[in-house]
Amino acid sequence: MPLSTQSQSGNDEYILVASLDNARNLSNILKAISFKDHAIFNVTQNGLKVTIEDSKCLQANAFIQADIFQEFTLKEDVVGFQVNLTVLLDCLTIFGGSTVPGVNTALRMCYNGYGYPLTLFLEEGGVVTVCKINTQEPEELIDFDFCSTNVTNKVILQSDSLKEAFSELDMTSEVLQLTMSPSHPYFRLSTFGNSGNAHYDYPKDSDMMELFQCTKTQTNRYKMSLLKPSTKALALSCKVSVRTDGRGFLSLQYLVRNDDGQICFVEYYCCPDEEVESNE
Amino acid sequence: MKSLFGRAVHALSRIGDEIWLEPLQKGSVLPLFRSVATIERSVYRCEISINVLNNRVMFQFNCKHGITKTHNLRYQECEALQAVFPTHLCPNILKSQPKLLSDVVMHFPTSQEEITLSISPIKVKFKSYFEEENDHIRSVCTEMSVHPDEFDYFQVGVDSEATFCLKELRGLLSFAETHGLPVSVHFGAPGRPVSFSVEDMVLEAVVVLSTLVIAASENPSQVSIVQEAPVPRNISDVCPASTPIADNSVANISKHEGPLEAEVACVPSENSTFPLGEQVASSQGSPVFFPASFHMKNLLQLHREEMDLLRPKGMHSLLFGAVSSSMADGIASELPSLVCASDTEDDAGDDGVRVEE
């Protein structure tokens, strides 16, 4: 498909048109999951879901619902494609990504369907840039089969307290161990590094703890290298929900507010590193 | 207390990698105190305990919002090191508010490794020190003089200078400044250690740094090493007590000093706790030596080794020439010629110990 001869005849040809007055409302949240190059876009009438996976053990999703966009038109039920997320972010921030108040990059994102590139029209201060990013066939996504009915333990924490813990984590530890329990230590993050181990305990009645629903004592370990990227999402978020299910799979859900105060979600799913016996 | 401890750890970290707190493994404690600001903001209490059975030391922080952070670190036992440095025997003592020293030190570039602190009855001078002559050309050379009145306490027993590592001092000064603690400086002749200390009701911090042995400089009264030559004869004149040469501090008396300085120097050496050849290490590994009971030949030998390592080449022959010349009486009158001789290659008392350039 020769890109330069694509005619731009308004919205008629595109099966997806999504517009934002402030491109940061998309780029910021995508940065929270940008630890790998290839991202899979899944677009429905509800909005945009962008997914990144790592080693078949970790999946990160960013949800930008339709009402975040100033314009959101989808001519099919579902549209899916894969793009290089690093390139996409470079384009979204092509005007430098400055945070001067009142100066925004406007975005119009268009897609013509299978085989066509993702076209971005970006404008700032009267200057227009057109970017066409090649798309690929979307890879199949892992279904972590994590559903609320299987959730054994769930807490919701204010992000600030976790941010501090994550910034102090001993990175020489290969794993991050998570203990959740209806009794002491309630919610504990542990590391096992070169010089020793460390434990961060959050009591269930801490004022950082917004919700505490733990039914049984569970201890699971997750590869530190897989969870490290989640700190980007944590940094953007104001709240985080931590859930584990009977298999020890971990779900982290981050509530992110964009520049205009609208809410978006980022979630991470992670497989446990090894089986650790749950204690009743 | 917790912020004090955190800062103390930070100050110590600028001195070395290993921290002493009932012996601990290298590199493991500092990260716990990495962010002093965070600690101040969120930590209420820090409890430290040792579990000897498991070889673990535990740091437990009780923080805001009920959060508890527990760190169990492995440790290994090792011998206790303690610098033995009798500050009460130091002829030169300065005491000042930390801001004074901080303001001085802040003018040296952060890359400046060593500085020379020199003292005389009329001023205290801080100057950049460069090991290689070439470094002079490449870097900014800074020099600052402070009037004795600026110090809360000023005592000069022997005109002297101390060249030491600046990095360690910066650590202590920022600690002292944060807690508003006056800093005391104790030192003696070049080559002897210098100590910087602060104390208050709950703590005492002492940093003992080794100093470089400096060769003859422009100021004749600084040539204290040369003065060691006449010691065996002069000592009985100055000090009736039989004071063996073992005490280096006794040896380094400028002939121009008055009775006060002489008294200070004449403290009987049995109180001197510096054993022969004790080395007080600094992170830079500056060699330090104490000629102690060596007599003249050994003195020369050691000087030569020292000079080979440290001195700008132009100085070698000058120093040896002076030392090897005839003793005592000639020295004072030869001092001016020493200074002149530094500009030439000729050596006043050349007896073959000239070091080849």
Write the ipTM.
0.78
How many A×B Cβ pairs under 8 Å? Answer: 56
Instruction: State the pLDDT confidence band at B305, using cuts at 50, 70 and 90.
Output: very low
Per-residue pLDDT reduced to its tens digit, A221-253: 999 999 999 999 999 999 999 999 999 999 999
- List own/partner pairs for A89-94 with CB under 8 A and 24 or more apart: A89/A27, A89/A30, A89/A31, A89/A34, A91/A120, A91/A122, A91/A129, A91/A131, A91/A133, A92/A23, A92/A26, A92/A27, A92/A30, A92/A120, A92/A122, A93/A23, A93/A27, A94/A122, A94/A129, A94/A131
Nearest CA in chain A to B43: A164
What is the enclosing helix (H) or strand (E) of A243? strand A237-245
Nearest CA in chain B to A196: B73
Closest by alpha carbon to A251, among A141, A143, A154? Answer: A154
Say if the Cβ atoms of B27 and A195 lie within 8 Å.
yes
More confident residue, B226 or A83: A83
More confident residue, B269 or A61: A61
Neighbours of B14 (CB within 10 A): 15
Interface of A with B in 146-165 (CB under 8 A): 161, 164-165
Of the candidates B34, B42, B72, which has its C-beta nearest A197's C-beta? B72
pLDDT at position A42? 96
pLDDT at position B88? 82
The chain-wide mean pLDDT, for chain B, equals: 61
Q: Is the per-residue pLDDT at B353 higher than 70?
A: no
Per-residue pLDDT reduced to its tens digit, B192-234: 889 999 988 877 888 888 888 765 444 444 333 332 333 333 3
Enter the DSSP assignment of A4. G
Closest by alpha carbon to B172, among B198, B202, B203, B152? Answer: B198
pLDDT at position B288? 38
The alpha carbon of residue B283 is apart from the nearest alpha carbon of chain A, in Å, by 23
Coil, helix or strand at residue A276: coil
- Classify residue A190 by burial, with Cβ atoms within 10 Å: 0-12, 13-18, 19+: buried
Of the candidates A195, A199, A207, which has its C-beta nearest B65's C-beta? A207
- Give A182's strand partners: none
Of the candidates B65, B69, B73, which has its C-beta nearest A196's C-beta? B73
Say if the Cβ atoms of A161 and B67 lie within 8 Å.
yes
Q: Is the per-residue pLDDT at B313 higher than 70?
A: no
Q: Is the per-residue pLDDT at B2 higher than 50?
A: no
Residue A170 at interface with chain B, using a CB cutoff of 8 Å: yes
pLDDT at position A275? 53
B280, B306 contact by CB (below 8 A): no
Say if the Cβ atoms of A197 and B71 lie within 8 Å.
yes
- Classify residue B23 by burial, with Cβ atoms within 10 Å: 0-12, 13-18, 19+: middle
Burial B296-334 (b: 16+ CB within 10 A, else e): eeebbebbeebbeebbeeebbbbbbbbbbbeeeeebeeb
Nearest CA in chain A to B66: A206
Say if the Cβ atoms of A168 and B74 lie within 8 Å.
no
Q: Is the per-residue pLDDT at A215 higher than 70?
A: yes
The alpha carbon of residue A169 is apart from the nearest alpha carbon of chain B, in Å, by 10
CA distance B303 to B322: 12
Interface of A with B in 210-249 (CB under 8 A): none
Residue A205 at interface with chain B, using a CB cutoff of 8 Å: yes
pLDDT at position B36? 55
pLDDT at position A101? 74
Closest by alpha carbon to B347, among B216, B259, B257, B180? Answer: B216
pLDDT at position A232? 92
pLDDT at position A243? 95
Per-residue pLDDT reduced to its tens digit, B168-179: 888 888 888 888
CA distance B77 to B25: 9
Per-residue pLDDT reduced to its tens digit, A98-126: 667 778 899 999 999 999 999 999 999 89
Residues of A in contact with B68 (CB under 8 A): 199-201, 203
Enter the DSSP assignment of A100. -
**Helical H runs in chain A?**
24-31, 85-92, 159-168, 224-227, 230-236
Q: Is the peptide bond before A185 cis (omega within 30 degrees of 0)?
A: yes
Considering only the C-alpha atoms of chain A, give the largest distance between any 2 of them, rounded to a whole number of Å. Answer: 66
Say if the Cβ atoms of A161 and B65 lie within 8 Å.
yes
* Mean pLDDT within B320-342: 33
pLDDT at position B248? 37
Instruction: State the pLDDT confidence band at A149, using cuts at 50, 70 and 90.
Output: confident
Residues of A in contact with B71 (CB under 8 A): 196-199
Q: Is the per-residue pLDDT at A134 higher than 60?
A: yes
Nearest CA in chain B to A193: B73
* Mean pLDDT within A69-93: 95
Say if the Cβ atoms of A195 and B25 lie within 8 Å.
yes
pLDDT at position A221? 95
Of the candidates A195, A196, A201, which has its C-beta nearest B67's C-beta? A201
Q: Is the per-residue pLDDT at B237 higher than 50?
A: no
Of the candidates B28, B31, B68, which has its C-beta nearest A201's C-beta? B68
Instruction: State the pLDDT confidence band at B323, using cuts at 50, 70 and 90.
Output: very low
Instruction: State the pLDDT confidence band at A19, using cuts at 50, 70 and 90.
Output: very high
How many percent of chain A have pLDDT more than 70?
92
